[in-house]
């Protein structure tokens, strides 16, 4: 995640479902189906390699052979999104949902498309729908949490971020290639990082707490006494590493 200077407002982080989890489904060995599978496999391989033009070519071929494949439309939407062709991405995610109305990942991705197109209310609606359909899905918890924080809905935003962290505390690190960053809102970057530190502190994860405290510091956060005053830090504030961090900021 890139660090912005103190004058830049919050970076809201949105995630697309990573494509590496997808595998072409088993198909009967007809010539047309075989061509569908070959095109789908080539499209997935190109998407995983970051060759989005090639991915779009093969996934479009697969979609023409099997217009009822919701997965193909979702993958095609991801390829367009990564090329910053957001309207085309939105169309493909909508197509995936029309084919499969229970497709939580496609709702999440559609939320990301609405976000970058600056329709924030629709983005929130899609993220919430993804979570309702699949309570264990991680991406929209982080996305919705950050978006709500940016809009000043601190407690609600923190609750969704807390859920995301509980589901997968390493998600931010594992899916950096599917992160979209846009400046928005009224919350400074330093405050966002401190909020993440609070959430990891509440789980007792000292390493991640320190990581985000250090990011907050690099973004010019200064109100370090909050570590002593905010209840989320109760589990970690007596850890020697946290004590040392504070000591360097309040030398005797």
Instruction: Please provide the DSSP assignment of 90-135 as one string.
Output: HHHHHHHHHH-TT-HHHHHHHHHHHHHTT-HHHHHHHHHHHHHH-T
The predicted pLDDT at position 24 comes to 53
pLDDT tens-digit profile of 40-73?
A: 999 999 998 989 999 999 999 999 999 999 999 9
Number of residues written out for the chain: 252
The three-state secondary structure class of 85 is coil
Per-residue pLDDT band for 196 (boundaries 50, 70, 90) equals: confident
What pLDDT, on the 0 to 100 scale, is given for residue 174?
76
3-state SS, residue 187:
strand
Distance CA 60, CA 241 (A): 52
pLDDT in tens, 13-39: 455 654 445 555 544 445 666 799 999
Start-to-end CA span in the chain (Å): 34
Residue carrying structure tokens 């956060």: 221
Whether the per-residue pLDDT at 160 is higher than 90: the answer is: yes
Cα(156)–Cα(124) distance, rounded to whole angstroms? Answer: 12
pTM over 0.75: yes
């Amino acid at each position: 995640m890139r660090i912005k200077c103190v004058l830049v407002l919050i970076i809201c982080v949105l995630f697309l479902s990573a494509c590496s989890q997808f595998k072409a489904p088993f198909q009967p060995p007809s010539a047309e189906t075989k061509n569908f599978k070959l095109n789908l496999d080539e499209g997935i391989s190109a998407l995983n390699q970051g060759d989005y033009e090639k991915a779009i070519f093969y996934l479009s071929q697969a979609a023409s052979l099997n217009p009822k494949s919701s997965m193909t439309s979702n993958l095609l939407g991801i390829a367009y999104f990564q090329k910053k062709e957001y309207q085309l991405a939105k169309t493909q995610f909508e197509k995936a949902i029309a084919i499969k109305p229970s497709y939580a990942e496609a709702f999440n991705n559609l939320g990301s498309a609405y976000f970058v197109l600056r329709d924030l209310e629709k983005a929130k609606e899609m993220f919430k729908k993804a979570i309702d359909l699949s309570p264990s899905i991680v991406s929209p918890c982080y996305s919705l949490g950050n978006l709500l924080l940016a809009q000043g809905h601190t407690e609600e935003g923190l609750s969704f971020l807390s859920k995301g962290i509980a589901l997968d505390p390493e998600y931010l690190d594992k899916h950096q290639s599917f992160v979209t960053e846009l400046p928005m809102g009224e919350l400074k970057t330093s405050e966002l990082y401190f909020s993440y530190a609070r959430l990891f502190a509440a789980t007792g994860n000292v390493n991640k707490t320190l990581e985000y405290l250090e990011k907050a510091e690099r973004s010019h956060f200064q109100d370090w006494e909050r570590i002593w005053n905010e209840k989320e830090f109760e589990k970690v504030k007596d850890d020697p590493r946290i004590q040392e961090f504070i000591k360097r900021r309040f030398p005797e």
